[in-house]
């Protein structure tokens, strides 16, 4: 059961697909072990950030931060990505021929096992890091082969491709992993060609395969390779971590696979040049991820001349908790859009004389500019749309040509982007005055100009030139008929698609071609000193239209107008995660209620995610295999079945001298006062529980969209905890000794399992529990897991006429 600890030196935790992982397991203190904590103490507590503690041998200074002598320099630094897995090695049982899934070798003994690898013509050896190294020498063909005692039928062969050979001046250099038939040149497997840099999935006959699938080798995507047989097909797969596999080729199973026994061979060949090598590891391993996160610190400790480094690590919730308070949802939607070129919220304090771009793309600031004389422009003077909670400037000109507006050069970076991607302009506005300009953009020489303005009649119009004409072409939209009604409106103008969106809908009217290049001078609240806007403008964005979709930007209206009230919980979780740059969100369960608006700017991503989690009685936590979130709806836990159990374990196999069943008032709730934003405050009680135990009250403030939904949530809480079940809250297991080890490793938060053969004094011979979290310690030869559990019956719901889930006063809890 080898521990597998890998560092993503130089990588960024938020870009997992770009990280090349380095195995540092040989330097890990496996006597002290690795300790990982994950999840929550019970089902009523929030899941906590996952943590891990790892100790490294630092005798050669490789884990000393900022040490130029380290082979990892300069990447031994805070927030370095780390992932921890268990590589479960197979064992041989029964009699030959053995399924290939039983062939395993992690080379941890430091020597080649000649009884397993009966042919070693190239003097392959095991490195100090515990990897098999096969030399690739000029003019030599080598083999590293097993006896012919294996079969691929219904089985698989897996290996980690730890290092590939370089061409080193040779005309031909290759290394392979083959499952061989009894006929020379007939074989299945993977071949790496150093000359072409390709990894090839092959089924050879006569040492050739015209149908080979060739992949450009990637040390990230092809770190692990596998070949398996399903009964009808042979599948070639690759993986970046040995856990998530990608199918690269499938072919009908050759007849010899099911009729012969096989050998496994790792041959190499080189015609010339200089010597090199290929390295393999973890042959046959079943990899199970346990932690994915970042190292918080690198404290170097000394004891005499010995040095160790014990690091603490945190999963992606560390990244999330560092995120600043959110802007309004309307602003966050814009800032999360990858094609954004510049964004001006216009939310500066009243004393500011300029406004800035917050996109991070490097656009210049815009200055308050005087046209003619008189008038005013007061920042932070107007209250924006209700759901933004932000204040915007008030433009108050003395006339259409006398007053103040905002203008400035976006800069060369923005200009270059606009030159390749004609701009989309976005803004929120409020006015009662017609005949004024909202926003405009122009090239420095004025050859290309585009202006979005309000016509004299109150509708929208487009003004443009691509020839530098002094008089702009004006094209009016037939709808909407008025923008000057004193209400907040959202507008989007796509200069490439020639479209305008107003308040989330495509505006009526046909616009002629009006493309333009090199536009970099932006005007807000007027255009070149004329048609000065009278009212308020905010949240002005400039996007690149070749990749941006104007309909997506038009949909930002709902963010400012309603805060996306009514979208389901799973969609809200994904939306909020995107504000932090997290695109991997795994959703489990089928019940996802509508969520109300979460209000204006000011709270953090984590706070808002937790609001959704608590509103829906769901679970939110970091994935343990990649940079991503897992969101589970409450329905995932409804009515567990024996078939859905992660595993079962006998009471005698628990790693404890005593087991305690809890029956206390820790979770008791029999009176709930519940409310929602803008809704009624309602009360639900369980009179029989109050009579028996006294009043245990709880406040419930949740983001529901109806009073009935609030009432349902309150009933759900009271029905579950008015008289909590007797439960087993801690279950310790020495997992590595269990025949169900892989099943135990698959169990995660909200998985459930049974403890069987309980003592006669227990309320039942077996108890089923749900996992809320766990603490595990992984050492050489040991993997102890302390599961924090709750009673699975807490989440059962009524199923009409069901023998188990329709027992009156027992399992007739209505689903919510």
Beta pairing partners, 450: 441, 464
CA angle 769, 775, 777 (to 5 degrees): 125
Check residue 811 and give its pLDDT.
65
Q: Are 129 and 71 in contact (CB under 8 A)?
A: no
Check residue 445 and give its pLDDT.
94
Give the whole-angstrom CA distance, residue 278 versus residue 134: 5
CATH topology of domain 569-635: Phage tail protein beta-alpha-beta fold (3.55.50)
Same fold? 3-88+288-315, 98-284: no
Check residue 809 and give its pLDDT.
62
List of the chain residues with pLDDT < 50: none
Alpha-carbon separation of residue 691 from 687, 699, 771 (angstroms): 6, 20, 32
Give the whole-angstrom CA distance, residue 173 versus residue 140: 10
Is residue 609 classed as helix, strand or coil in its secondary structure? Answer: helix
Residue from 454, 536, 566 nearest 500 by CA: 454
Per-domain boundaries in the chain: 3-88+288-315, 98-284, 329-562, 569-635, 642-795
User: Cis peptide leading into 97, omega within 30 of 0?
Assistant: yes
Check residue 802 and give its pLDDT.
76
Q: Full-prediction pTM beyond 0.75? A: yes
Phi/psi of residue 692, nearest 5 degrees:
-80, -40
If you count DSSP H runs as helices and E runs as strands, how many of each does the chain have, helices first? Answer: 11, 55
Whether domain 329-562 has CATH 3.40.640.10: no
98-284 is classed in which CATH architecture?
A: Sandwich (2.60)
Check residue 546 and give its pLDDT.
78
State the DSSP string of 702-717.
Answer: ---SSHHHHHHHHHHH
Sheet holding 403-409, edge to edge: 354-355, 366-371, 403-409, 519-524, 437-443, 449-454, 460-465, 473-476
What tokens were used for 138? 């000029």
Beta strands 423-431 and 535-544 are: antiparallel
Give the whole-angstrom CA distance, residue 567 versus residue 571: 6
Give the whole-angstrom CA distance, residue 425 versus residue 542: 5
Is residue 789 classed as helix, strand or coil in its secondary structure? Answer: strand
Alpha-carbon separation of residue 433 from 4, 300, 406, 522, 531 (angstroms): 68, 68, 18, 22, 10
CA angle 310, 313, 316 (to 5 degrees): 170
Beta pairing partners, 426: 492, 541
Residue with tokens 């656009």: 363
Phi/psi of residue 570, nearest 5 degrees:
-65, -40
Question: Which of 62-90 are b and which e, b meaning 16 or more Cβ less than 10 Å from the residue's Cβ?
Answer: bbbbebeebebbebbeebbbbbbbbbbbb
Mean pLDDT taken over the chain: 94
CATH of domain 3-88+288-315: 2.40.10
Check residue 333 and give its pLDDT.
94
CA angle 299, 300, 302 (to 5 degrees): 140
Beta pairing partners, 536: 394, 430
In the DSSP assignment, the letter for residue 412 is H
**CA distance between the termini of the chain:** 43
Is residue 770 classed as helix, strand or coil in its secondary structure? Answer: strand
Residues 6+ away with beta carbon under 8 Å from 521: 407, 408, 409, 410, 441, 442, 443, 444
What tokens were used for 497? 């698609």
State the DSSP string of 375-410.
Answer: -EEEEEEEE--TTT--EEEEEE-SBTTBEEEEEEE-
Phi/psi of residue 737, nearest 5 degrees:
-90, -5
């Amino acid at each position: 059961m080898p521990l597998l600890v890998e560092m993503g030196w130089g990588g960024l935790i938020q870009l997992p697909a770009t990280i090349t992982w380095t195995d540092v397991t040989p330097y890990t203190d496996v006597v002290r072990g690795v300790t990982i904590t994950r999840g929550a103490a019970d089902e009523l507590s929030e899941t906590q950030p996952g943590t891990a503690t790892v100790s490294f041998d630092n005798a050669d200074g490789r884990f000393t931060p900022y040490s130029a002598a380290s082979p990892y320099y300069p990447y031994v630094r805070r927030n370095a990505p780390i992932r921890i897995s268990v590589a479960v090695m197979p064992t041989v049982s029964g009699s030959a021929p053995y399924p290939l899934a039983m062939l395993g070798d992690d080379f941890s003994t430091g020597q080649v096992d000649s009884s397993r690898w009966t042919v070693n013509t190239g003097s392959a050896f095991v490195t100090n890091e515990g990897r098999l190294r096969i030399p690739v020498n000029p003019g030599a063909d080598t083999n590293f082969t097993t006896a012919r005692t294996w079969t691929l039928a219904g089985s698989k062969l897996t290996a980690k491709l730890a290092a590939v050979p370089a061409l080193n001046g040779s005309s031909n250099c290759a290394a392979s992993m083959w499952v061989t038939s009894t006929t020379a040149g007939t074989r299945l497997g993977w071949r790496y060609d150093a000359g072409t840099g390709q990894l090839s999935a092959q089924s050879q006959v006569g040492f050739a395969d015209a149908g080979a699938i060739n992949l450009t080798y990637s040390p990230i995507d092809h770190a692990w390779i596998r070949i398996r047989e399903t009964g009808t097909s042979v599948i070639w797969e690759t993986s970046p971590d040995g856990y998530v596999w990608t199918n690269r080729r499938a072919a009908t199973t050759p007849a010899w696979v099911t009729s012969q026994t096989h050998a496994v061979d790792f041959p190499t060949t080189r015609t010339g040049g200089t010597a090199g090598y290929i390295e393999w590891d973890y042959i046959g391993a079943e990899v199970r991820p346990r932690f994915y996160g970042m190292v918080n610190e690198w404290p170097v400790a000394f004891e005499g001349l010995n040095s160790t480094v014990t690091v603490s690590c945190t999963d992606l919730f560390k990244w999330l908790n560092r995120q600043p308070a959110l802007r309004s949802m309307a602003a966050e939607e814009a800032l999360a859009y990858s094609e954004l070129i510049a964004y001006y919220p216009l939310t500066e304090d009243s004393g500011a004389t300029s406004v800035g771009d917050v996109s991070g793309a490097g656009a210049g600031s815009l200055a308050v500019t005087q046209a003619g004389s008189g008038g005013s422009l007061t920042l932070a003077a107007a209250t924006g749309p209700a759901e933004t909670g932000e204040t915007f400037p008030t433009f108050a000109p003395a006339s259409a040509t006398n007053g103040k507006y905002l203008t400035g050069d976006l800069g060369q970076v923005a200009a270059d982007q606009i030159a390749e991607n004609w701009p989309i302009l976005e803004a929120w506005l409020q006015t009662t005055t017609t005949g004024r300009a909202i926003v405009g953009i122009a090239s420095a020489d004025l050859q290309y100009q585009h202006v979005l303005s309000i016509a004299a009649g109150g509708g929208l119009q487009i003004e443009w030139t691509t020839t530098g004409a002094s008089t702009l072409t004006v094209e009016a939209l037939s709808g909407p008929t008025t923008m000057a009604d004193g209400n907040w409106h959202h507008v989007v103008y796509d200069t490439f698609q020639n479209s305008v969106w107003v308040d989330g809908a495509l505006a009526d009217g046909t616009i002629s071609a009006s493309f333009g290049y090199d536009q970099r001078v932006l005007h807000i609240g007027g255009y070149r000193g004329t048609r000065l806007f009278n009212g308020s403008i905010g949240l002005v964005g400039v996007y690149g239209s070749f990749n941006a979709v104007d309909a997506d930007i038009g949909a930002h209206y709902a963010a400012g107008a309603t805060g996306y009230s009514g979208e389901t919980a799973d969609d809200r979780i994904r939306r909020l995660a995107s504000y932090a740059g997290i695109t991997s969100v795994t959703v489990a369960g089928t019940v996802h209620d509508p969520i109300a608006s979460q209000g204006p700017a000011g709270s953090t991503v984590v706070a808002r995610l937790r609001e959704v989690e608590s509103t829906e009685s769901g679970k939110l936590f970091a994935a343990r295999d990649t940079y991503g979130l897992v969101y589970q709806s409450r329905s995932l836990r409804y009515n567990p079945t024996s078939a859905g159990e992660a595993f079962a374990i006998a009471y005698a196999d628990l790693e404890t001298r005593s087991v305690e069943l809890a029956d206390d008032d820790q979770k008791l709730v029999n009176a709930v006062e519940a409310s929602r934003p803008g809704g009624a405050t309602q009360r639900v009680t369980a009179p029989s529980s109050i009579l028996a135990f006294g009043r245990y009250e709880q406040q419930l403030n949740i983001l529901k969209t109806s009073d009935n939904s609030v009432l349902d949530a309150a009933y759900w809480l009271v029905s579950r905890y008015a008289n909590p079940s007797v439960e087993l809250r801690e279950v310790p297991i020495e997992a590595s000794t269990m025949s169900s080890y892989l099943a135990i490793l698959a169990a995660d938060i909200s998985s459930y399992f049974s403890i069987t053969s309980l003592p006669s004094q227990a309320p039942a011979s077996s108890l089923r529990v749900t996992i809320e979290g766990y603490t595990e310690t992984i050492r050489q030869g040991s993997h102890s897991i302390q599961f924090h559990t709750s009673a699975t019956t807490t989440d059962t719901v009524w199923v009409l006429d069901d023998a188990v889930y329709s027992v009156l006063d027992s399992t007739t809890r209505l689903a919510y």
